[in-house]
């Protein structure tokens, strides 16, 4: 466990350079600034029918995948290319500890990104727009929890891809995958998918969107909510297992050109 924290600390220090910190602070400030735009146009906030819960859900649905794409590019391949993986495994560090440190680093980064780009703007929105919903704090926490699980799912997919894809192709493939999910499942082909029984059944395998679907059903806690939630857990378990399998099989002395 000590080795995992040491590696995680090193990964965080390596990732969070001063330039990255400045960029994140600027982007977060710009997001908050745009939230005040109605004020500069003389619009009365009290007259706006805005649900703060929808703001949180919208921000999380957008920034969770964007954040994962940002900090998981070449997450494994870069270590293989620079021979860092071979160097670290030559020390008293196991492959499992190395991979767990990658997951812990990515999880911490996900929390940081969601705080700056989702939680803080939502809290500010609560004070700006007072026409919020009557949902309990539990609903907000559940939504955040489900999107964090979805973020971990995307992280596991990106890490798995990075074991056998060169350079930043892992996040490129993940981005294409997310685009196809929105196109086939939630976009212009949604009716075709729902009317084709075979595509409808296997779409849950090809496009693991169980957690995001559970968010949409989180107010009912009915059968469909739990079905979507467990689909998400199944996909997460599969890609976690896949990443550990690929980690145990990857060759640290051979770099694919």
Q: How far are the Cα atoms of 36, 112, 230 from residue 236, in angstroms, in the given order?
A: 37, 21, 10
pTM above 0.75, yes or no: yes
Q: How far apart are CA 157 and CA 173, in angstroms?
A: 10
For the chain, which residues make up each domain, given as ranges? 2-249
Q: What tens digit of pLDDT does each residue of 125-181 get? A: 877 766 556 677 888 899 999 999 999 999 999 999 999 888 889 999 888 888 877
Q: Does the pLDDT at position 192 exceed 60?
A: no
Q: What tens digit of pLDDT does each residue of 228-252 get? A: 898 889 889 999 999 999 998 887 7
Q: How far are the Cα atoms of 16, 68, 76, 77, 249 from residue 163, in angstroms, in the given order?
A: 23, 16, 6, 6, 10
């Amino acid at each position: 466990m000590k080795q995992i924290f040491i590696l995680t600390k090193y990964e965080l220090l390596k990732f969070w350079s001063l330039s990255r910190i400045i960029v994140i602070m600027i982007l977060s400030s710009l997001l908050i600034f745009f939230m005040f735009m109605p004020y500069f146009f003389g619009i009365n906030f009290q007259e706006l029918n805005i649900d703060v819960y929808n703001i949180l859900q919208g921000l999380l649905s957008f920034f969770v995948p964007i954040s994962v794409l940002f900090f998981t590019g070449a997450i494994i391949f870069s270590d293989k290319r620079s021979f860092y993986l071979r160097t670290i495994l030559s020390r008293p560090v196991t492959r499992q500890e190395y991979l767990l440190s990658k997951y812990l680093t990515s999880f911490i980064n996900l929390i940081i990104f969601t705080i700056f780009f989702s939680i803080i703007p939502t809290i500010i929105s609560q004070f700006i727009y007072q026409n919020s919903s009557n949902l309990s704090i539990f609903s907000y926490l559940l939504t955040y929890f489900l999107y964090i699980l979805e973020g971990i799912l995307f992280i596991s997919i990106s890490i798995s891809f990075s074991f056998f894809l060169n350079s930043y192709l892992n996040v490129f493939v993940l981005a294409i995958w997310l685009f196809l999910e929105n196109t086939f499942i939630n976009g212009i082909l949604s009716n075709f998918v729902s009317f084709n029984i075979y595509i409808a059944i296997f779409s849950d395998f090809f496009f693991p969107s169980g957690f995001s679907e559970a968010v949409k059903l989180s107010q009912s806690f009915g059968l469909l909510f739990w079905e979507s939630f467990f689909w998400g857990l199944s996909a997460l378990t599969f890609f976690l297992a896949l990443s550990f399998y690929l980690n145990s099989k990857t060759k640290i002395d051979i770099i694919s050109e």
